[in-house]
Structure 1
């Protein structure tokens, strides 16, 4: 098998997990290679995602590293055998590789924890809002809309979004687009497994809330992944300590945010300041524009 020239984030993450398991077991690349019938350099290339691994060798690797958790073993088998193809494959020539990686991770996700600062989360955007963000690039907008199926499909995994109040005030596309976008947030909050909170401007606690991120919960907690957004694309974080830090960060942010949006409530309550009231307040101000 030849070396891969384009390594997906799933393939990279699979290799990282193999390396972490080997290091935790105190085995060198040469030692695990002896178990698998591979040379040390081939082991290193496998851990870097440049080489694949067949199922027999994967099971030998897991056995040698003392992995007994059946759920984790099954999740590693799934990652190993995946061909990386899905609905997103048809957009390969229209979006950046990082977007394809995100769609693949979302397809395997069991829950999502998303924090956004100046944008409405992608999975909650209207088409008109997304058109402005993507500068009316039809295929990119279509791709964004297709991604949203992951949280609106039957038996969709839980999706919890905390949105900074700043995102509600950005006039992307103008007042009409933003009014529709705020209405859409209310509609999405009616879905049984969608939770939306607003982090207000007047929050008095600092919790490093300047970086947007999404925690994609994997089929096993050891395979949770943090996707960090930056001007040059997305960065994927999978090391246990880093992921745990972002779990704590999201827990803290949602604790600082207003109570979740509840469209079933009779209306904003003067005695309770919540996300529903915040969105209604911003929406009311937009009516005069």
Structure 2
């Protein structure tokens, strides 16, 4: 069985879920290998995402581990059957691995809920706005790196148009609406684009006004990405070195509670559109 040079986040996630299945049974690697009729190295490398596993093997291992959740097992089997490279692989070597992992995560999402404090949601950014945001990067991007970053950012938006597109709720703070990246003209164009995108059937934009007060634990852009079953949900947060991903069960539970609280303090979609129009009018004054 050939070893992968660089497993993707999705491949690593499948491996980690296989590890969780084993650990819930109380089996060591050696005990699991004996029960599965294989060797300890194969089990270990499969759990690390270094070895690929087939859907049939996932089902067989889950059966040996006596997993009672059929929907969860089938979701893992579907992950194992994924063999094609997505468009994001065109950027491997040019961008940080986390950027590719984020695009892959969004592509397979059932639903997405995000909180944006200082920036417009990445999936709803116009090219001019994205270019202005990247212009603030330190150290500055080279022209070629900027071109590739922009290309990747804009291709991510295609997920909203694909068959089976995820249902998205974007919670956007008033601060992000009033930041004038690129100047008033670019900012106004972005607000107009945000309004247009909010009319999509699968998109809801909800504004968090300054008047809503504080809320817990959201200091940076955060996306909660729903998988086909709750066990496969993922939280993505922005860091100085790129996207970070969280899938520990307790932390997922906490993030869901935080996002529920933030959403409860946001305006509904209709009032949010009116609010965005008001911000745009104040920029024109």
Please say whether Structure 1 and Structure 2 have the same fold, judged by a TM-score greater than 0.5: yes
Residues 84 and 104, structure 1, Cα contact 8 Å, conserved in 2: no
Counterpart of 1:70 in structure 2 is: 70
Moved over 6 A (4+): none
1:38 shift after superposition: 2.4
Give the distance between the partners of 2:219 and 2:238, measured in 1 at CA.
Answer: 11
What is the count of residue pairs matched by the alignment?
276
Give the distance between the partners of 2:170 and 2:12, measured in 1 at CA.
Answer: 27
Instruction: Say if 2:274 is the partner of 1:277.
Output: yes
Counterpart of 1:47 in structure 2 is: 47
Instruction: Say if 2:135 is the partner of 1:138.
Output: no
1:84 shift after superposition: 5.4
Superposed CA RMSD in Å reads 1.8
Query: Residues 58 and 186 from structure 1, CA distance in 2 versus in 1: closer, same or farther, beyond 3 angstroms?
Result: same
Give the alignment partner of residue 224 of structure 2, picking from 210, 215, 219.
215
Say which is worse superposed, 78-87 or 224-233, in terms of deviation: 78-87
Gaps of 5+ in 2: 136-142
- TM-score, normalisation: structure 1: 0.89
1:155 shift after superposition: 4.5
Residues 173 and 209, structure 2, Cα contact 8 Å, conserved in 1: yes
Counterpart of 2:188 in structure 1 is: 179
- TM-score, normalisation: structure 2: 0.90
Alignment of 1:1-289 (within 5 A): 1-83=1-83, 85-135=85-135, 137-153=146-162, 155-260=164-269, 262=270, 274-288=271-285
After superposition, the C-alpha distances for 1:184-242 in whole angstroms (9 at most, x for unaligned) are 11101110111111111222343223132111111222111111111111111112211
Say which is worse superposed, 74-83 or 184-193, in terms of deviation: 74-83
Gaps of 5+ in 1: 263-273
Give the distance between the partners of 1:253 and 1:193, measured in 2 at CA.
Answer: 20
Residues 209 and 253, structure 1, Cα contact 8 Å, conserved in 2: no
Counterpart of 2:140 in structure 1 is: none
Q: Which has the higher helix share?
A: 2
Residues 151 and 157, structure 1, Cα contact 8 Å, conserved in 2: yes
